[in-house]
């Protein structure tokens, strides 16, 4: 999601019909679903939303990855 935010033209397309996110356990399918919503422009993130398995905050994860990807 962070890569898509920083360079949308470089993001791979996810074909929701041929690519079954249900094959992945927990957070992987969950984050891919949110990535597709972001690509489609329909993503809304509840600040309290957490992943289905480990219960990690989506907002906290995105903030961490943005910081890791920053040049500062």
The helix (run of H) or strand (run of E) holding residue 71 is none
Give the number of other CB atoms < 10 A from CB of residue 35.
19
pLDDT at 35: 83
The answer to pTM > 0.75 is no
Helix (H, G, I), strand (E, B) or coil at 30: helix
- pLDDT score for 72: 59
Rounded to the nearest 5 percent, the helix, strand and coil shares of the chain are: 50, 5, 45
In terms of Cβ atoms closer than 10 Å to its own Cβ (0-12, 13-18, 19+), residue 1 is buried
Quick: pLDDT tens for 36-70.
Answer: 888 888 988 787 888 887 788 888 888 888 888 88
Q: What is the pLDDT of residue 5?
A: 80
Give whichever of 23-27, 29-33, 41-45 has the largest mean pLDDT.
Answer: 41-45
């Amino acid at each position: 999601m962070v890569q898509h935010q920083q360079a949308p033209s470089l993001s791979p397309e996810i074909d929701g019909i041929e690519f079954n996110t249900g094959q992945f356990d927990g957070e992987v399918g969950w984050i891919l679903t949110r990535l597709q919503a972001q690509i489609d422009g329909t993503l809304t993130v509840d600040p309290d939303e957490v992943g289905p398995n480990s219960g990690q905050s989506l907002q906290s994860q995105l903030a961490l990855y943005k910081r890791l990807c920053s040049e500062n």
